[in-house]
């Protein structure tokens, strides 16, 4: 999430009641999750296991629960609860409505048809010649390109599935990102595409999604991908161009799938994959799998 205008370190520290380490006028441009951070962003970390990853990331402001050595060219915000204060920052700069207010400011392109039963949130942009079927729900800040088809009961821009355990309960990290559907995309019935926590969940130009597909927060799907029914992609994944995911494929969070890859039905992914064809619970190379099956069947 980028702020509407650059902020100063002392301003952000005052907003959340944190101590800061670094020049008081150090420039802060926005917030982001560790997988998507850029220079000028705040990233939060609240466990020593992840200190090094956060401190050495592209983020230049680290919201942290303990004072540590600050890397050169960066700044720290020291908080007793970085998770809570990350939410405070995000909701201060992004208005959260969740269909409780109708502010609208919706842009709709020429030739677009939206069924009257569809529900559209605030600050939504929809391009030209797009077709939106009955009972579609489009959350705040969603951006949809030209010549897009979105079939019935699909939800774009639901909250990210991102929680921590706090005092025996689950505490949500509030989603202030959005969903971007590029031009010439087709999305089937009953799909759910979560908005980014702080960035965009993106479906690339020309991609086609079947029915009942779940795409997690901040995931980027490339161009001209083909995704079959009941696929589940967790948050913060990067899927290249012209990737094919057949039915019931499951991809764990934070993994990257190289362009041109094919995942056969029910393949499970728990690591980054180079271009190839894969099958099985742990994404085994398909040719290797076939050779193994032949050997097993020839055993006497």
Position 31 scores a pLDDT of 97
Question: What's the confidence (pLDDT) of residue 191?
Answer: 98
Pick the CATH number of 107-288 from 2.160.10.10, 2.130.10.10, 3.40.50.300, 3.40.605.10: 2.160.10.10
pLDDT of residue 100: 84
The topology under which CATH files domain 2-93 is 3.40.1390
Contact 16, 88 (CB under 8 A): yes
Longest dimension (CA), the chain: 75
Spatial contact of 51 and 69, defined as CB atoms under 8 Å apart: no
Query: Are the C-beta atoms of 28 and 61 separated by less than 8 Å?
Result: yes
Burial class (CB in 10 A: 0-12, 13-18, 19+), 62: buried
Q: Nearest-CA neighbor of 129 among 154, 149, 156, 157?
A: 149
DSSP state of 146: S
DSSP, res 159 = P
Residue 291 has a pLDDT of 87
Q: What is the pLDDT of residue 12?
A: 98
Q: Give the torsion through C-alpha atoms of 37, 42, 46, 48, to 10 deg.
A: 60
CATH 2.160.10.10 boundaries in the chain: 107-288
Tokens of 100: 């409780």
Q: How confident is the model at residue 207, as a pLDDT?
A: 98
Per-residue pLDDT of the chain (300 residues; tens, 9 = 90+): 999 999 999 999 999 999 999 999 999 999 999 999 999 999 999 999 999 999 999 999 999 999 999 999 999 999 999 999 999 999 999 999 888 887 778 999 999 999 999 999 999 999 999 999 999 999 999 999 999 999 999 999 999 999 999 999 999 999 999 999 999 999 999 999 999 999 999 999 999 999 999 999 999 999 999 999 999 999 999 999 999 999 999 999 999 999 999 999 999 999 999 999 999 999 999 999 898 888 888 876
Query: Where do the CATH 3.40.1390.10 domains begin and end in the chain?
Result: 2-93
Buried b (16+ CB within 10 A) or exposed e, 198-218: bbbbbbbbbbbbbbbbbbbbb
Nearest to 87 by CA among 169, 196, 157, 174: 174
217 is catalytic: yes
pTM here is: 0.94
Given a contact cutoff of 8 angstroms between Cβ atoms, the answer to whether 221 and 257 are in contact is: no
* Structure confidence at residue 213 (pLDDT): 98
pLDDT at 300: 60
Predicted local distance difference test score (pLDDT) of residue 197 = 96
Are 279 and 264 within 8 A, CB to CB? yes
Q: How many CB atoms lie within 10 A of CB 70?
A: 16
- Residue 102 has what pLDDT? 78
Task: Show the tokens assigned to 129.
Answer: 């010649």
DSSP state of 67: -
Q: What are phi and psi of 15, to 5 degrees?
A: -60, -40
């Amino acid at each position: 999430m980028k702020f509407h205008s650059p902020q100063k370190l002392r301003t952000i520290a005052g907003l959340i009641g944190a101590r800061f380490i670094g020049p008081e006028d150090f420039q802060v441009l926005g917030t982001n999750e560790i997988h998507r951070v850029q220079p000028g962003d705040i990233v939060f970390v609240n466990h020593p296991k992840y200190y090094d990853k956060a401190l050495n990331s592209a983020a230049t402001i680290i919201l942290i629960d303990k004072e540590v050595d600050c890397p050169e060219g960066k700044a720290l915000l020291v908080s007793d609860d970085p998770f809570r204060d990350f939410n405070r920052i995000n909701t201060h700069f992004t208005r959260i409505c969740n269909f409780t207010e109708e502010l609208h400011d919706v842009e709709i392109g020429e030739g677009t048809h939206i069924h009257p039963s569809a529900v559209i949130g605030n600050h939504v942009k929809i391009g030209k010649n797009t077709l939106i079927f009955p009972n579609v729900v489009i959350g705040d800040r969603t951006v949809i390109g030209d010549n897009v088809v979105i079939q019935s009961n699909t939800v774009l821009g639901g909250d990210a599935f991102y929680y921590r355990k706090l005092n025996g309960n689950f505490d949500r990290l509030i989603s202030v990102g959005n969903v971007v559907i590029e031009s010439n995309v087709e999305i089937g019935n009953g799909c759910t595409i979560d908005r980014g926590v702080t960035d965009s969940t993106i479906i690339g130009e020309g991609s086609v999604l079947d029915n009942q597909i779940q795409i997690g927060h901040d995931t980027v799907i490339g161009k001209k991908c083909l995704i079959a029914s009941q696929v589940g992609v967790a948050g913060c994944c990067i899927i290249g161009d012209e990737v094919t995911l057949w039915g019931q494929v499951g991809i764990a969070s934070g993994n990257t799938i190289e362009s041109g890859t094919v995942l056969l039905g029910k393949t499970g992914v728990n690591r980054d994959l180079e271009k190839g064809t894969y099958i099985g619970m742990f994404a085994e190379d398909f040719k290797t799998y076939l050779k193994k099956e032949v050997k097993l069947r020839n055993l006497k």
